[in-house]
Structure 1
Amino acid sequence: MSLIGFEHVGMTSRDAERTIAFYCDLLGLRLALRKSQPSGELLFLDAGGGMLEIMIPAAAGLDRSRDVLPTEAGMRHLTFAFSDVDAMLAKLEAAGVEVVERPRDAHNREMVKRVAFVRDPDGIIVELIERAETR
């Protein structure tokens, strides 16, 4: 028995259309599955090396995502690699996406060259990176 690879992260969203517009239209993920269920709507968005499984509950009124503090256990952000973080951030800013941190050189240069942070439509922090040349 051996690990095959990373499969997906499960998330919850308030709005399927806004989620698809952000992750697919702006970031470039591919909508692999969109399915209605009694409990709501299910999306699978393919990022190439893994997917986002996103549930949009039928019940309205979900709160915006809460940041996980550095002193708490939990997932703090999602990360996607791009060839040009500055160009991607410019595209996202032009679309009105909330910027958390503008592009800068990364602290862990062995793994990541440049980094920036934005928020998705539900307030989840999304990290944009350029990989280090050694990766």
Structure 2
Amino acid sequence: MDAVIAFYCDVLGMNILRSWGDGVEAGAMLDTGNGVIELFANAEPGRRPGQVDHIALATDKVDECMAACAKEGLKVIMAPQDIVVPCETPYPLHIAFVEGKAGEIIEFFDEK
């Protein structure tokens, strides 16, 4: 839990909004700037309920975020690249994916 909080706060620049408990009962809420990530020490690793596949964080520094993640030794799932999501109005993005410290998949994206 401490390593996950340190990654999000020290590497990605988020702030702790609130935290509670100790050991397996610990939890925290981190400010993403436009939302909140909730962390729970007693969450089941690999749990995949529902349709949510990953978290996506908007940033104008995709490449810098990935460099910071690589420096932390995190597994790169997709190196930074430009794509166009083929929705109603084409949606151009600069994106990258990494596996976080808790096994979560993190997307960094920048709207182009």
TM tier, smaller: 0.7 to 0.9
The C-alpha deviation readout for 1:13-34, integer Å capped at 9, x for no partner, is xxx2111112111112111111
Q: CA deviation at 1:92?
A: 1.1
| 1:91-110 correspondence to structure 2 within 5 Å | 91-108=68-85, 110=90
| 1:31-110 correspondence to structure 2 within 5 Å | 31-36=16-21, 40-57=25-42, 64-65=45-46, 73-108=50-85, 110=90
Look up the equivalent residue of 1:34 and give its one-letter code: S
Does residue 30 of structure 1 match 2:15?
yes
Aligned residues: 109
User: What is the TM-score normalised by the length of structure 1?
Assistant: 0.70
CA contact (8 A) 2:66 2:96 kept: yes
Gaps of 5+ in 1: 1-15
Gaps of 5+ in 2: none
Counterparts in 2 of 1:38 and 1:121: CA distance versus 1, 3 Å: closer
Match of 1:8 in 2: none
Find the residue that maps to 1:88 and give its secondary structure. helix
Q: Percent identity?
A: 27
Match of 1:131 in 2: 111
Runs of 4 or more consecutive aligned structure 1 residues displaced over 3 Å after TM superposition: 109-112
Partners of 1:96 and 1:76 lie apart in 2 by: 22
Bigger radius of gyration: 1
User: What is the TM-score normalised by the length of structure 2?
Assistant: 0.83
